[in-house]
Amino acid sequence: AGASSLFSVLTSKAVVKRERLKDVVRGCRYRINNILDHKYRPRPVHEILKSANEMIDVEMEYSFLEKNCEHFVTKLRYDKAECGQVKDVILSLFITIVGVAAVSSIGVLRSALKRQKQ
């Protein structure tokens, strides 16, 4: 799981595999996160399993922003591909950019005021 999962992040293709959760997490902590259950109705379990089994060994496009593992499982569970991780990364990046811009603006403003006083 580890090497093949890492490789899929570095390419634009990934292959769907069926693996035991304990083999994938390799002793790391994990939790099952059905956070979108309040927003969407989950599909029946037999439909989720049928769709998942049909995808085994299928090569798919992979993109961190648009087609990652979380998109894949939310599409299976809710029939809607969503990813909170990507939203969190984009929000963090936006906040960082705004923060850097604000600090830079304050620095430029201080320099201008200092020169004006001289």
Of 14, 80, 78, 16, the residue nearest 47 (C-alpha): 78
Range of the domain at 14: 2-82
| Residue 105 φ/ψ, nearest 5 degrees | -65, -40
Both 43 and 72 in a single domain? yes
| Whether residue 99 is found in the same domain as residue 74 | no
pLDDT tens-digit readout, 47-105: 999 999 999 999 999 887 778 888 899 999 999 988 876 566 666 676 777 777 777 87
Q: What is the mean pLDDT of residues 35-39?
A: 91
CB 67 within 8 A of CB 60: yes
Considering the domain architecture, whether residues 74 and 44 belong to the same structural domain is answered as yes
Q: Is the pLDDT of residue 108 over 80?
A: no
3-state SS class at 62: coil
Do residue 6 and residue 28 come from a single domain? yes
How many folded domains does the chain comprise?
Answer: 2
Instruction: Report how far Cα 69 is from the mean position of its chain's Cα atoms.
Output: 7
Both 26 and 76 in one domain: the answer is yes
Place of tokens 């591909």: 81
**36 vs 105, which has greater pLDDT?**
36
Q: What is the pTM of this model?
A: 0.61
